Amino acid sequence: MAEAIRMPRMSDTMTVGVIVEWHKKVGDTVKPGDVLADVETDKATMPLESYNEGVLLYIGPKNGSSVPVEEIVAVIGKKGEDYQSVLAKEGGAAKQTEVPETKSAKPTNDTTSTAVLPKDVKEIRMPLLSDTMKEGKIVRWNKKVGDKVKSDDALAEVETDKTTMEVVGYEEGTLLYVAVGEGESAPVNGMIALVGPAGTDVKAYVEAQKNKPATSAEAKQESKSAEAPKHTPEPISHESTSDSDGRVKASPLARSMAKERGINISNVKGTGDGGRIIRRDIENYVPAEKPSEARKSTDKEGTLHIHSFDQIGKEGFEDIPNTQMRKTIARRLSESKFQAPHFYLTMEINMDNAMKARKAMNEVSPVKISFNDLVIKACAMALREHPDVNSSWMGDFIRQNHHIHIGSAVAMPDGLIVPVIRFADQKSLSQIAIEAKGLYDKAKNKTSAQ
């Protein structure tokens, strides 16, 4: 069945996007991950990627056109498939840039083709909250089914590959359905909720979405899930602090407190329901005295005797789920290492004069300038002098950037994050120092550093 590609929300403040350039044309075959177009938002120009596989059947807006968030910009489906029914759901076919000759699709008994979104009901989709985001995990829903929502209400908190951000629905009405539970992930542009008039029956549409044939990307994800071992729930024992799959049962607050205090949570006995570890268990935890591997004593003759080792406890482990940030770091590092040729240059730099200059500047600068700030400025000026280096490999062409942005990695417990100092070549060392410190603080506090 043909799928609509909508203008995603690429930042928390984005309401419209401008199509800078289409990289695909009608009739082209596209795969998940292919860049369909470049979109200019209120913050940056970012790629619009496809999360579907098939043939590009329809393109709506032309280069330079402004498109509201959630409006259809393209349709992908099977070659020759009729896509007019997809456009009709939006109140009629939009103007198209190019329409290939197509044959009418044969009638089908598929229930997904007859289930349409009820009148005045709107889909809330997973927004693109960073340029590298592929999926988002719902950390918490701030609203529940049946609640009234306003256009500026934060419906949920979503963990991306970089930070945790709020998702604003930009629709008014009643929350009719939640498609993704807390702790579950959804791909970018995937439906996460439905909002509309109170009492609207959305069961038929929801069932149609559940029965919709999976795209190749979704099928791969399902196959991975199928390969994972399935565990049959067992009766809860008040003497056990672990689930049937070996994972320690503990509240999020208890886990956080244990991590802060350096306590191995598997050693804590839970007093909550079903042996669940709760806050008071961490507060009252007293670590057992570590046994020595061997005890020694001396007899009357002065002979040293080593006593046998007495084992306490059993071998164990705790599986800690990867965060979206760690998943992305692993993927990006692999892509960087294996998809691009590497070479390394080293040189020694005498920093005596730089140290003297930094000391002198810090006597008059309103903010302390670090050696890292000096390196950022030096890299920016080097790129200005050698613009060929400031280029990106785009597959079919090389893009030479006219702006100079410098990324500066920050180490965090969950991994590395790279805030970007934009237009670093145009800024003074004091300006770089102020901006860098602000971005580092945002990264460490897991607030948006876009």
CATH of the domain at 259: 4.10.320.10
Predicted pLDDT of residue 173: 92
- 100 and 9, same structural domain? yes
Q: Which pLDDT belongs to residue 272?
A: 76
* pLDDT-based confidence at residue 97 (cuts at 50, 70, 90): very low
The percent of residues above 70 in pLDDT, for the chain, comes to 77
Highest averaged pLDDT of the listed ranges 88-97, 233-242, 298-307, 378-387: 378-387
The predicted structure's pLDDT at residue 232: 37
Residue the block writes with tokens 């482990």: 317
Q: Check whether residue 439 and residue 357 sit in a common domain.
A: yes
Number of domains into which the chain is organized: 4
166 in the same domain as 145: yes
Last residue of a domain, one of 75, 107, 139: 107
Same domain, 89 and 166: no
pTM of the predicted structure, to 2 decimals:
0.36
pLDDT, residue 234, reads 36
Is residue 400 within a helix (H) or strand (E), and if so which, with residue range?
A: strand 398-400
Q: Is residue 334 part of a domain?
A: no
Is residue 427 within 8 A of residue 384, CB to CB? The reply is no
The answer to whether 3 and 53 are in contact (CB under 8 A) is no
Judge whether 326 lies within some domain: no
- What pLDDT shows up at residue 227? 46
- In this prediction, residues 258-279 reach a mean pLDDT of 82
Indicate whether 219 belongs to any domain. Answer: yes
For residue 65, what pLDDT is reported?
A: 86
Question: Sorting pLDDT into bands at 50, 70 and 90, what band is 34?
Answer: confident
What six digits make up the tokens of 348?
């020694």
Are residues 29 and 102 both part of a single domain? Answer: yes
What does the alpha-carbon distance between residue 96 and residue 61 come to, in Å, rounded to a whole number? 7
Using alpha carbons, list the distances in angstroms from residue 234 to 49, 245, 275, 447: 43, 10, 14, 40
pLDDT reading at 314 higher than 60: yes
Q: Are residues 90 and 18 in the same domain?
A: yes
Q: What is the domain range of residue 94?
A: 3-107
Last residue of one domain, picked from the residues 107, 134, 168: 107
Q: Could you tell me the CA-to-CA distances from 320 to 23, 39, 248, 255, 339 in Å, in that order?
A: 40, 37, 10, 11, 29
In a domain, 299, yes or no: no
> Is residue 214 domain-resident?
yes
Q: What is the pLDDT of residues 140-182, one digit of tens each?
A: 999 999 999 988 888 998 888 767 788 887 888 999 999 999 9
Convert 63-92 to b/e letters by CB count within 10 Å (16 or more is b): eeeebebbbbbbbbbeeebebbebbeeeee
The secondary structure of 204-246 as a DSSP string is HHHHHHHTSPPPHHHHHHHHHHHHSPP-------TT--B-TTS
Above 90 in pLDDT, residue 380? yes
Average pLDDT in the 175-202 region?
A: 90
**Predicted pLDDT of residue 101:** 41
Confidence (pLDDT) at 147: 93
H/E segment holding residue 166: strand 164-168
Name which of 27-41, 188-202, 304-318, 412-426 the model is least confident about.
304-318
> Quick one: 217 and 240 in the same domain?
no
pLDDT of residue 382: 94
pLDDT of residue 53: 85
Which residue do the tokens 């080792």 mark? Answer: 309
- Domain CATH for 54: 2.40.50.100
Look up the CATH number of the domain holding residue 376. 3.30.559.10
Do residues 270 and 208 both lie within one domain? no
Q: Which one of 200, 223, 246 terminates a domain?
A: 223
Highest mean pLDDT among 42-46, 64-68, 290-294, 342-346: 64-68
CB 329 within 8 A of CB 415: yes
On whether both 428 and 348 belong to a single domain, the answer is yes
* Overall average pLDDT of the 99-126 stretch: 60
Q: What are phi and psi of 81, to 5 degrees?
A: -75, 145
pLDDT at residue number 400: 92
Question: What is the model's pLDDT at position 112?
Answer: 39
Give dist(CA 410, CA 419) in Å, integer. 8
Q: Predicted confidence band at 298 (pLDDT cuts at 50, 70, 90)? A: low
Which DSSP helix (H) or strand (E) runs through 59? strand 54-59
How much is the pLDDT for 160?
A: 81
Residue 83 lies in a domain: yes
Range of lowest pLDDT (32-36, 64-68, 94-98, 411-415): 94-98
The reply to whether 311 falls in a domain is no
Banded model confidence at residue 224, pLDDT cuts 50, 70, 90: very low
What's the mean pLDDT when you consider all of the chain? Answer: 78
Return the pLDDT at 225. Answer: 43
Establish if 46 belongs to a structural domain.
Answer: yes
Same domain for 86 and 142? no
Bridge-partner residues for 298, per DSSP? 304
* Shared domain check, 255 and 218: no
pLDDT at residue 279, rounded to an integer: 79
Q: Mean pLDDT over residues 218-232, rounded?
A: 45
| Rounded mean pLDDT, 99-120 | 52
**pLDDT reading at 323 higher than 80:** no
Region 72-79: mean pLDDT is 89
Looking at the fold, whether 98 and 18 belong to one and the same domain comes out as yes
For 197-210, what is each residue's pLDDT tens digit?
999 988 888 888 87
Q: What is the DSSP letter of 388?
A: G
Q: What is the pLDDT of residue 447?
A: 62
Mean pLDDT, rounded, for 265-278: 82
